[in-house]
């Protein structure tokens, strides 16, 4: 199986685990069963892929979140760099896509910042002795973000708060060993789910920064 597809499956496994944690906290059993069935089907679909050009584009991911009126869109990635550990990225300004589309809106930018801070705080607590904390960063600090004026493609087209989580650096052996294990994946999922809960729950919301 190509490396890109193996990485997609790893991300799908963690994404499914995040869904499991969040839905397990819900008392709606029917909703829980529907989400688990959908996530499991998506994992099987990824396994069946044979060509990398079948992968979903970042614009399409944003459109799915927009159509669903999602409270938050999370993009799970694994990095390759000289660092090790996790980082959370969010758009702090508008960018321009190749087709001329500009975005995201000011409301999405502010919501994305709050989401990034909430998830970062949860990862700091949940992964303290396992992975390095590389902090909250902006889309502008990525190559694609800089080329597009400060926002990643998925951020430009998103009409809901959006963050990108670089969960680990796969080129670092310690990080790779952590995320390959079921225990590491579950721990990452628990931390992300806790961050989502902090963001969407008014009683646990990260306060706005004073200007």
What is the rounded distance in angstroms from the CA atom of residue 119 to the CA atom of residue 156? 21
Q: Which two tokens stand for residue 35?
A: 């989400």
What pLDDT does 58 receive?
Answer: 84
Cα dist. 115→35, 50, 56, 119, 195 in Å? Answer: 22, 34, 23, 6, 8
What pLDDT does 95 receive?
Answer: 96
> What is the pLDDT tens value at each position of the chain, 211 positions in all?
343 434 444 444 455 555 555 545 555 566 556 555 555 555 555 555 544 444 558 888 888 888 878 888 888 888 888 899 999 999 999 999 999 999 999 999 999 999 999 999 999 999 999 999 999 999 999 999 999 999 999 999 999 999 999 999 988 999 999 988 889 888 888 888 888 888 887 554 444 343 3
Q: Where are the alpha helices (DSSP H) in the chain?
A: 3-24, 29-48, 58-68, 106-126, 143-147, 153-157, 173-180, 182-200
User: What are the structural domain ranges in the chain?
Assistant: 1-55, 57-204
What is the rounded distance in angstroms from the CA atom of residue 84 to the CA atom of residue 44? 30
Q: Homologous superfamily of 57-204 in CATH?
A: Zn-dependent exopeptidases (3.40.630.40)
Sequence-distant (6+) residues with CB within 8 A of 154 are 58, 59, 61, 62, 73, 75, 162, 164
What pLDDT does 53 receive?
Answer: 43
What dihedral do alpha carbons 191, 192, 196, 199 form, nearest 10°? 70
What dihedral do alpha carbons 187, 110, 164, 98 form, nearest 10°? 170
Cα dist. 38→7, 35, 76, 97 in Å? Answer: 20, 5, 18, 31
- Whole-structure pTM value: 0.77
What is the rounded distance in angstroms from the CA atom of residue 25 to the CA atom of residue 61? 25
What pLDDT does 165 receive?
Answer: 93
Q: Please report where in the chains the tokens 């646990």 appear, as a residue.
A: 204
Q: In terms of Cα–Cα distance, which of 131, 51, 144, 171 is closest to 89?
A: 144
What is the rounded distance in angstroms from the CA atom of residue 99 to the CA atom of residue 134? 32
């Amino acid at each position: 199986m190509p490396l890109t597809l193996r990485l997609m499956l790893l991300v799908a496994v963690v994404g499914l685990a995040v869904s499991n944690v969040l839905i397990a906290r819900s008392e709606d059993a029917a909703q829980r069963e529907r989400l688990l069935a959908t996530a499991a089907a998506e994992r099987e679909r990824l396994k069946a892929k044979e060509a990398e050009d079948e992968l979903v584009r970042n614009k399409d991911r944003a459109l799915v979140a927009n159509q669903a009126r999602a409270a938050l869109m999370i993009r799970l990635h694994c990095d390759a760099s000289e660092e090790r550990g996790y980082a959370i990225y969010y758009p702090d300004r508008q960018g321009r896509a190749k087709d001329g589309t500009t975005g995201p809106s000011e409301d999405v930018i502010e919501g994305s910042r709050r989401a990034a801070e909430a998830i970062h705080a949860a990862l700091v607590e949940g992964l303290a002795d396992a992975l390095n904390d590389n902090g909250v960063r902006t889309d502008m600090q990525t190559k694609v973000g800089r080329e597009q004026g400060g926002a990643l493609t998925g951020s430009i087209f998103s009409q809901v708060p959006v963050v990108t989580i670089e969960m680990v650096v796969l080129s670092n052996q310690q990080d790779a060993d952590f995320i390959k294990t079921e225990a590491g994946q579950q721990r990452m999922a628990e931390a992300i789910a806790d961050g989502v809960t902090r963001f969407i729950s008014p009683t646990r919301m990260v306060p706005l920064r004073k200007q």
